[in-house]
Amino acid sequence: MAVNIKRITPQELDRQREFAKKTEALLNERYDFQPLACVVTYGCQQNVADSEHIKGMLSDMGYGFTDDRMKAKLVIFNTCAVREHAEDRVFGNVGALKKYKLQNPDVIIALCGCMMQQKHIAEKIKESFPFVDLVFGTHVVHKVPELVYTALTRRKRVFELPNVDGVIAEGIPVKRDSEKKAWIPIMYGCNNFCSYCVVPYVRGRERSRQAEDVIAEFKTLVDEGYKEITLLGQNVNSYGKDLEPKVTFSQLLRMLNDLPGDFRIRFMTSHPKDCTKELLETMAECDKVATHLHLPFQSGNNRVLKAMNRSYTREHYLELINYAKELMGDELSITSDIIVGFPGETYEEFLDTVSLVKEIGATSLFTFIYSPRVGTPAAKMDDPVPYEEKSKWLRELLAVQEEISAQQMALHKGKTFKCFVFGKGKTGDNYLAARTDGNLIIEFEGDEGLIGTFQKIKVTEPLTYVMKGEIERN
């Protein structure tokens, strides 16, 4: 089947820069102050990265920024479609702006992201939220200047939701949320079509950025002083399969690792079916690549995995985990995603997931009760187990993992880690929070001037999900 992937031309980006200038001129005519934009982001790190690009374009258009929706002249909700709860939050928060919009008709309210790429959601916005001015999908983020200008100058609502397999756009402005930590998307979309997941339908097919573009962006960030850089993709292990010449994800990691500078490389998310021994060896051998492996297994039962269309078995997953442990030992930190109560899953099959959790010894888990998504095969499957029963299963799983997490943390008492200090801690006013190579959090007393630096921190008190420590002075 032919795949329609569009690479945005430099000419199209020049066109968007012209719209940015026209918008800035228009805003200067309308207001004798700098209008503010509020960008609200839901969902995954890919959405966070998209929002940083949206804010980059808005900045070029003359907008300032606020977190207060009631002070903004432009409010953009960047939405997530992975779970029903996220959708409900979006509808609730958008609805809460109706009165503000009626009192301030010059305000532009916009919705974008994965939810909008679903036809039934877009129709609901069109029919039930008439005060929403602009709706656009995941494939036209690069057109924000044009879309906002159109919304500002037209009396009718703007819907831009092209049905394509995906785009690649280089050179979009970015306004990053942090001065020391950054996200770099290396690929977009997904080809896996897990039976419960809407992502391939809303994000499009897999497409990789050219390695030289990724390396150039990465190098710029390092030169600007960024210390922790996370590579993003729905399935980073598939990176480069669509490129000519072929470049594997492992090769990309090694090229980035060889760049000069003091920095740490992270990545997410990996899919077990494409996770290779080469990748695990690369993690072990590259000194700047974090030894944190987020490898979602979703279920520990092979029948359920097949029904999920995950394309691997429990045994294959364990083989990968055991090889990673063999290579990286105590330096390795494992996290994973689990779906509880997939349609047709029995309690006995759920217990296979519990046993796998015990076997892998993950540092932490991201656990969810199954949420049906319109348009996915799983949404049509029989689902006889009531939600209340699934909730009991989830609580049972969380109790098991809590004990494992405490055991994993206890192993680190007295150890010293090189940590990236990323912000203020929650323990007390004078506490800072730092992240180890394995993505473990240590809170310690220290001056805020240490934020954005690497420090050696000794663990003094391991707790269940966070550790207390003290900075090690030479």
Q: If you ran DSSP here, which 8-state letter would residue 266 be given?
A: E
DSSP code, position 450: G
Q: How do residues 425-435 score in pLDDT, each as one tens digit?
A: 988 888 999 99
Residue 8 · residue 168 · CB < 8 Å:
yes
d(CA 182, CA 189) in angstroms, rounded, equals 20
Give the strand pairing for 187-188 and 207-208.
antiparallel
Task: Count the Cβ atoms, other than its own, within 10 Å of residue 67.
Answer: 10
Taking the domain 291-408, which CATH number applies? 3.30.750.200
Q: At what angle do helices 347-360 and 387-410 cross, to 10 degrees?
A: 10
Nearest Cα to Cα of residue 305 among 257, 268, 272, 256: 272
178-285 and 291-408 have identical folds: yes
State the DSSP H helix or E strand holding residue 431, giving kind and residue range, or none if neither.
strand 431-435
Q: Tell me the pLDDT tens digit for each residue of 179-196.
A: 999 999 999 999 999 999
CB burial of residue 37 (10 Å; 0-12, 13-18, 19+): buried
SS3 460: strand
Count each helix (H run) and each strand (E run) in the chain, helices first: 14, 21
316: Cβ–Cβ under 8 A, 6 or more apart, which residues? 272
User: What integer best gives the mean pLDDT of the chain?
Assistant: 95
Beta bridge partners of 418: 456
The answer to whether the predicted template modeling score (pTM) of the entire model surpasses 0.85 is: yes
DSSP state of 451: T
Lowest-pLDDT choice from 8-12, 31-35, 162-166, 326-330: 162-166
With CA atoms as reference, report the closest residue to 289 among 85, 144, 78, 439. 439
Sign of CA dihedral 96, 98, 99, 101: positive
In this predicted model, what pLDDT tens digit does every residue of 433-471 receive, in sequence order?
Answer: 999 999 999 999 999 999 999 999 999 999 888 899 999
Residues in the chain: 474
5-167 — its CATH code?
Answer: 3.40.50.12160
Report the relative pairing of strands 108-113 and 134-136 from DSSP bridges: parallel
Report helix, strand and coil shares of the chain as percent, to nearest 5: 40, 20, 35
Burial class (CB in 10 A: 0-12, 13-18, 19+), 17: middle
CB 16 within 8 A of CB 145: yes
Q: Which helix (H) or strand (E) holds 359?
A: helix 347-360
> Which string of DSSP letters, residue by residue, matches 27-86?
HHHH-SS--EEEEEE-SSHHHHHHHHHHHHHHHHTT-EE-S-GGG-SEEEEEE--SSHHH
The answer to whether 363 and 438 are in contact (CB under 8 A) is yes
Measure the CA–CA gap between 230 and 369, rounded to whole angstroms: 27
Decide if 377 contacts 332 (C-beta within 8 A).
no
Give 178-285's CATH code, choosing from 1.10.3720.10, 3.30.750.210, 3.40.109.10, 3.30.450.70.
Answer: 3.30.750.210
Q: Which of 241, 136, 263, 104 is nearest to 186 (CA)?
A: 241
The C-alpha angle with vertex 51 and arms to 230 and 248, in degrees rounded to 5, equals 35
For 29-88, the pLDDT digits (tens) are 999 999 999 999 999 999 999 999 999 999 999 999 999 999 999 999 999 998 888 899
* pLDDT at site 464: 84
- Sequence spans of domains, the chain: 5-167, 178-285, 291-408, 416-471
Q: pLDDT at position 259, please?
A: 97
Mean pLDDT over residues 369-390, rounded? 96
Residues 6+ apart with CB under 8 A from 198: 81, 82, 114, 118, 373, 374, 375, 376
Average pLDDT rounded to a whole number, residues 345-370:
97
CA-to-CA dists, residue 63 to 15, 95, 109, 272, 353, angstroms: 19, 24, 14, 42, 49
Q: How far apart are CA 129 and CA 415, in angstroms?
A: 55
- Token readout for 354 is 């519990």
**Peptide bond preceding 200: is omega within 30 degrees of 0, i.e. cis?**
no
Please give the pLDDT value at position 2. 58
Hey, what CATH class is 416-471 in? mainly beta
What is the distance between the alpha carbons of residues 86 and 115, in angstroms, rounded to a whole number? 9
- pLDDT > 70? residue 1: no
Q: How does pLDDT run across 193-241, given as a tens digit for each residue?
A: 999 999 999 999 999 999 999 999 999 999 999 999 999 999 999 999 9
For helices 45-60 and 10-30, angle between their N-to-C axes, nearest 10 degrees: 60
The confidence score (pLDDT) of residue 86 equals 86
What is the model's pLDDT at position 474? 64
pLDDT, tens digit, 9 for 90 and up, residues 410-424 = 999 999 999 999 999
- Say yes or no to pLDDT of 409 above 80: yes
Question: Which SS3 state, helix, strand or coil, does residue 253 take?
Answer: helix
Q: What is the pLDDT of residues 120-132, one digit of tens each?
A: 999 999 999 999 9
Residues 266-273, mean pLDDT to the nearest whole number: 94
Residue 35 contacts residue 71 (beta carbons within 8 Å): no
Confidence of residue 4 (pLDDT cuts 50, 70, 90): confident
